[in-house]
Structures are given as structure tokens and as C-alpha cells.
Amino acid sequence: MHTPYKQPADGRRLAVDNRTYNAVLRSMRCLGERGFAILNGRWRTQRHSTASPRRLGDIVRAALHLTHFEYRYLPESC
């Protein structure tokens, strides 16, 4: 797990490399959150599921494949 650097308490700006690191983390998190939002918004089963985490993982994988098919996204690894 990667965590962003915090702003110093004394009001100074973060170093350039720390700001860049935080920007990279934000951009990666943005993609993950967008994908999660698409899956949860599209598949009602996931919003109201009481399945075990192991079973829910299978449901999420199936929903991901169906969503890729719906958006015509075909990864080259398939």
C-alpha cells in the first residue's frame, strides 16, 4: 500500500519529488475509483450483495468481463 506524503505542519511546500509522487498516486487511484464506480453503478448485484467475500470475488470478476465486453475493451492478454 502506498500512502501520499503529507503537507508539512509549518506551512512549507512539499519537495518537488514528493509532490510528483503524490500526483502519480492520485492518477493511479483515479483510474481504480473510476473502474469501481462503473462496476458498482452498472451491476446492481454488487450494491446489494450479502455473499461471502470469496464468492463476491467471482461475481466481480464476471461483472468485469461483461463490462469489458459491453465497452468493447479487449485486453491483449486474453
Could you read off the pLDDT tens digit of each residue along the chain, which spans 78 residues?
788 889 888 989 999 999 999 999 988 887 778 777 777 777 666 666 777 767 777 777 777 778 778 777 766 654
Q: Helix, strand, coil % (nearest 5) of the chain?
A: 65, 0, 35
Q: Which three cell numbers stand for residue 2?
A: 502506498
Q: What is the largest CA-CA distance in the chain?
A: 51
